[in-house]
Structure 1
């Protein structure tokens, strides 16, 4: 019997589990914060940063590196699969449907970066963090939306998800282009060769997943040693996985996304939160340029960029706002786009690898900005008129 892994079934699975991954992520972030500000702080950090007695990959010497460079590659693989699915059969599959979320996502990345640079402009050593407030955390934002239930029109949920997906594409491009320090051309050439083989497999109709998974692991290993961040390998691998049905009526891409979406949402992202969200609240000044620039970028820059894009496109006749969305719905959704968390923490760690204290300061800004954005967004959407069921 043919298995049904169609996009409708996947959407149902994703919708049914919107709240849970976001709530687990919030809980893990809270646990990390509590432990980082308790007498157990030193031991807690040691769990992740202490050198492992043995590692199968010498470049990954501790648990923190395995989470950020290893498991997060799987997270980015899932993001890449989601992006490809949306472009082939989802909300980004035609120009009319993708126009507004793409413009909103681009504005929602550019304006926060400008706000950050305006705040930190007198400190050249901080300029590398310009992309930190440009990201939106899908799990966290959708978790907040799910808690609001039927108060939010389905079109607003879909718009937020689409903006976040496009946002992820931008964040991935930023990581690849701006946070690559030095290149090892031999490993880079090997990575290109492996990626090319995967593309050839796709073009010649290979539908079995095992060859892609083996090559994806090899691609990750090559990219890890190339100087480009290893998580980029996950996205590249995802783009080669076939969407078309095989002889059993099964889509390899949808099957793989089905298999990994729970692992990513319920295991990898919470582990990332535990390993990266812990910051000593008394050790930094939240009004210092770095945390303040990040927080204002998330709180003010995100909502300004997204709202200007939505109402600008509507006024110019480029695109219409989501169906059934009032001003308060759009404003609340724009505020929720300021929840940067996972991607912002990730970019912060890349931006200041040589300055651990700046990484901690960046965490302070990300956590503060994301929390305020979540609370304000939820409050505004609570005041918005309840969505009318169709």
Structure 2
């Protein structure tokens, strides 16, 4: 039995991880293209028409609303399935291996939030502390993939585990701090549906359709509970039978199926709908705002400092060790890639702020900061990996 589970772990690491990494890096490139298209259209003569396209009413709500509250729940479902895989079979299944990315992720969340609050504590904009805490998996892995074959597998795994834990942290932050009013009847109804699906799991109901129907019902109640409906996706992921993670499990099949729709339809659509940013004439004034400084410092400085510092503390305390093919410079480089916030940062921005001007400006600063962090991380890793490659050959 133990040997069987070990074989399944190897299959997961070789097959599904490779598929995940390949899809994420391709998705990252598509996201870049969609973001550029959205920015160009938003600032062209078609800008007003383009903006109003996303406000098209459907079922009493705008198209943008259904993308952010509906389709993004499917994105969170995929995150939940990936997190479950990591916990059972991936890098998080061994506590010794998991501690390095866990500590790195905590540092990458706490330090950026602290820097943001340093400039915004006591102001109305302090609710934006969660904005620089997030890492965009697709963009980060997309940049890492540009470095080619010199990137060691341990670095890919570290960044992936870090980003997945980071997303879990973002989900918890959304649930804890961006819920204004709770409607308990609807919340308890959603949890009752979750309980039914959990019982189905324990009774070994291994058909996907009942879970998808239950997930849709739970999403409806969660949508009307005051807690953001996308949390439904993560909860659903953990009641879908994982079994031993074999390819015949419905968890594996669903995760495999969702990679392409999420990476090449849902996230690009989210990017198109949420990066219609109008660039004002006074960009300098935008960058001088306290929330802008907090976001920029959080992503460009807080992320690499937090990731590297907490990793160093964990290794120094003997809780874990740095992989043999990694150095502290590569960890710092990955820390800068962690500063690519994009999807999750924009998502939290929409929850944190009500003022349209602040939302627009925050999105602009997120894009700019993510670009700067990504460029620094790319060139730092390129230089470090090239040096390591040359030293190894010599």
TM-score of the alignment, normalized to the shorter chain, above 0.5: yes
The structure in which a higher percent of residues are helix is 2
1:24 and 2:30 aligned:
yes
TM-score, scaled relative to structure 2: 0.92
2:326 and 2:280 map into 1 onto residues whose CA distance is 41
- What TM-score comes out, normalization by structure 1 length? 0.93
User: Which of residues 272, 277, 287 is equivalent to 1:274?
Assistant: 272
Secondary structure (helix, strand or coil) at the match of 1:18 reads helix
Aligned match of 1:50: 56
Report the Cα offset of residue 327 of structure 1: 2.9
Equivalenced residue count is 378
Cα separation, 1, equivalents of 2:259 and 2:316: 38
Alignment of structure 1 residues 89-100 onto 2, 5 Å: 89-100=89-100
| CA drift at 1:233 | 0.5
Q: 2:350 is matched with which residue?
A: 349
Partner of 1:103: 103
User: Hey, what's the Cα distance between the residues in 2 that align with 1:9 and 1:303?
Assistant: 30
**What residue ranges of structure 1 are gaps of 5+ in the alignment?**
none
**Residues 105-144 of structure 1: matches in 2 within 5 Å?**
105-121=105-121, 124-144=123-143
The farther-off stretch of 68-77 and 322-331 is: 322-331
Secondary structure of the structure 1 residue equivalent to 2:323: coil
Q: CA deviation at 1:97?
A: 1.2
1:49 alignment partner, SS class = coil
Instruction: Extract structure 1 runs of 4+ deviating beyond 4 A.
Output: 387-390
* Whole-angstrom distance in 2 between the partners of 1:37 and 1:287: 22
Superposition RMSD in Å: 1.9
1:250 corresponds to: 248
**Mind listing any 5+ residue stretches in structure 2 that lack a counterpart?**
1-7
Cα deviations by residue, 1:205-230 (Å, 9 ceiling, x for unpaired): 11111110110111111101111101
Q: Residues 300-352 of structure 1: CA distance to partner in whole angstroms, max 9, x if unpaired?
A: 00000001012222222221123311232112111100000000000000001
Please give the per-residue CA displacement for 1:336-387, whole angstroms capped at 9, x wherever unaligned: 00000000000000001x2111111211221111110001000101111336
1:330 aligns with 2:331: yes
Give, in whole Å, the separation in 2 of the partners of 1:95 and 1:13. 24
